């Protein structure tokens, strides 16, 4: 990302945008091809959606196509779940190497973008784009689209509530939820950044889209991006 793309009042990221394995680590996944292809390996549709939103909003975007089964870029470095059952058995030196090579650069780039945006505008909305499997452990997830936020933050709660209400009105035939199927206070990049940046300036929401809507080409239907853009609260639109 070039410096001129920093300093916006919006930042869009996608931590699970692919299921790629660098050549030097392919031996770790020789018997895990099915897991790589599944929702365990990545969040289908998110990189395309993130880049589409960023292009239409003129916002900086930071995406990764690295499989989260190698190292999860939406987990804090100290979280044991930053490593999967495939990489957790590696030696400490190997795990630290994965963090330094893949996790730290992604987070550093995002921090740089947030810092520049806050310095220029005083307020920044960080949207982490994710998707979720339609069912997990036999439980069907009903939301089509969801916004995750920290309920202890009045600013995030107000923003997510207003936006979710607008989305529900825009999409009367879809199920729009807040903090479902996950909690916005769970460990992740936005949660960690809330501790690193001023609460009055940094707003971190995660957008979750149900993977049942993925098309054959791996993207989400146009209504997903269109609805998010048309209902984005005033103050964050171009």
pLDDT in tens, 125-177: 999 999 999 998 888 999 999 999 999 999 999 999 999 999 999 999 999 99
| Residue partners of 124: CB distance under 8 A and separation at least 6 | 8, 9, 10, 11, 114, 117, 118, 201, 202, 203
Task: Evaluate if residue 220 carries a pLDDT over 50.
Answer: yes
On the CB side of 34, how many CA atoms lie within 13 Å of its CA? 1
Question: Looking at residues 166-189, what average pLDDT do you find?
Answer: 97
pTM over 0.85: yes
Question: Looking at residues 5-34, what average pLDDT do you find?
Answer: 90
Distances (CA, A) of 200 to 112, 153, 156, 176, 228: 18, 9, 10, 26, 23
Q: What is the pLDDT of residue 190?
A: 98
Beta bridge partners of 203: 125
Q: What is the pLDDT of residue 138?
A: 87
Q: What is the pLDDT of residue 1?
A: 32
The percentage of residues in the chain with a pLDDT greater than 90, rounded to a whole number, is 91
- Whole-number Å distance between alpha carbons of 168 and 49: 19
pLDDT, tens digit, for every residue of 74-97?
Answer: 999 999 999 999 999 999 999 999
6 — pLDDT class (breaks 50, 70, 90): very low
| Range of lowest pLDDT (2-6, 115-119, 163-167, 209-213) | 2-6
Q: Which domains does the chain have, with CATH numbers?
A: 3-231 (3.40.630.40)
Question: Looking at residues 58-67, what average pLDDT do you find?
Answer: 97
């Amino acid at each position: 990302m070039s410096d001129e793309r920093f300093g916006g009042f919006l930042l869009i990221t996608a931590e699970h945008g692919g299921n790629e394995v660098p050549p030097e680590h392919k031996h770790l996944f020789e018997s895990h091809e099915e897991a790589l292809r599944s929702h365990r390996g990545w969040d289908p549709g998110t990189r395309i959606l993130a880049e589409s939103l960023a292009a239409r909003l003129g916002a900086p975007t930071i995406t990764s196509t690295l499989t989260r089964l190698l190292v999860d870029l939406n987990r804090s470095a100290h979280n044991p779940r930053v490593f999967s059952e495939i990489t957790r058995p590696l030696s400490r030196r190997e795990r630290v190497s994965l963090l330094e090579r893949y996790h730290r650069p992604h987070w550093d780039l995002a921090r740089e973008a947030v810092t520049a945006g806050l310095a220029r505008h005083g307020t920044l909305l960080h949207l982490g784009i994710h998707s979720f499997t339609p069912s997990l452990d036999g439980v069907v997830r009903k939301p089509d689209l969801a916004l995750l936020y920290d309920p202890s933050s009045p600013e995030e709660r107000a923003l997510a509530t207003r936006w979710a209400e607008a989305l529900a009105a825009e999409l009367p035939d879809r199920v729009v939820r807040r903090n479902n199927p996950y909690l916005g206070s769970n460990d992740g990049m936005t949660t960690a950044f809330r501790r690193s940046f001023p609460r009055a300036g940094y707003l971190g929401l995660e957008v979750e889209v149900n993977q049942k809507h993925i098309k054959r080409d791996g993207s989400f239907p146009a209504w997903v991006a269109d609805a998010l853009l048309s209902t984005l609260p005033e103050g964050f639109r171009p």
